Amino acid sequence: MVLERNSGLENWFPNTSLTTVGVVRSVIECGILCKEAACVSIVYETIDRICHLNDRISNISECSWKLNTRHYSVFSGIIEGYDCDIVGDSCIKLLSAQLPWAAASAECASEGATLLNIDSNSEQLAIQQFMADQGLDNIWMGINDVTSEGDWRTEDGTNPVGYNNFNGGQPDNYNGNQDCAVVRQSFGYRWDDEECILPVYTVCEMKSVGFS
Ligand SMILES: [Ca+2]
Ligand SMILES: [Ca+2]
């Protein structure tokens, strides 16, 4: 299934235009229900996780604007077996347990995904919104300087990090022992280096899977 977030609009339709399914686990699950019902788009309430199916809206002027909702068009196609949230142009999945960085990396790899990599300002902004919606203080990122201090690399160790959003004064390798990066809410969602052995919430990412 392919979900396309309708650009720049957080559309809300009068209740009479929507069929409310109720609480679902993710926007993907809502999309699957829409596809089964042959509807054309969904409205997903990101905080309460309430799924609404829309089978007839075509006139955008019939909508109003509502906070904490996302409106997606639903197209045919499959994201094979990966239940995720669409954030920006990425498919991401929040793991339920807080894990040390290496265990988090292994868990994502076991699902054919990677740890989160933020490589643009637009992705940074999308992740900030996701973290705010989920109430997350910190999440791991895929980058680390385990191999060579100060030389930040992505998980596979081969690609230099491009986009950089470390907070002022970071990375500081505090106590000589901070080699893994987090997105930190208390830094305004800018990045910090942290001890890799600490348990931290984890987002796995599948880039550009299932999107056209
Ligand atoms: Ca370091
Ligand atoms: Ca630090």
Q: What local confidence, expressed as pLDDT, does residue 105 receive?
A: 96
Q: Which ligand is nearest to the CA of 176?
A: 1
Which residues make up the environment of ion ligand 2, defined by Cβ < 5 Å?
A: 170, 172, 174, 178, 192-193
pLDDT at 78: 35
- Segment-wise mean pLDDT, segments of 10 residues, the chain, 212 residues: 61 77 87 81 87 72 72 56 66 90 94 88 91 93 95 88 92 97 98 98 74 34
The residue count for the chain: 212
Contact, 170 vs 178, CB < 8 A? no
Ligand 2 centroid to residue 166 C-alpha, Å? 9
How close is the Cα of 147 to the center of ligand 2, in Å? 17
**Protein fold of 2-75:** Hepatocyte Growth Factor (3.50.4)
The predicted pLDDT at position 209 comes to 40
SS3 state of residue 121: helix
Q: Ligand 2 centroid to 54 CA: how many Å?
A: 46
Q: What pLDDT, in 10s, does the model give residues 86-114?
A: 676 677 888 989 999 999 999 999 887 89
User: Rounded to the nearest whole angstrom, what is the distance from the C-alpha of residue 49 to the centroid of ligand 1?
Assistant: 37
Q: Write down the domain spans for the chain.
A: 2-75, 88-207
Cα distances (angstroms) measured from residue 193 to each of 110, 167, 171: 25, 10, 5
Are 2 and 206 in contact by the 8 Å Cβ rule? The answer is: no
Q: What strands, in cross-sheet order, belong to the sheet with 180-184?
A: 138-144, 180-184, 190-194
d(CA 104, CA 99): 6
Give pLDDT, residue 12. Answer: 75
Q: What pLDDT was estimated at residue 34?
A: 85
CATH number of 88-207: 3.10.100.10
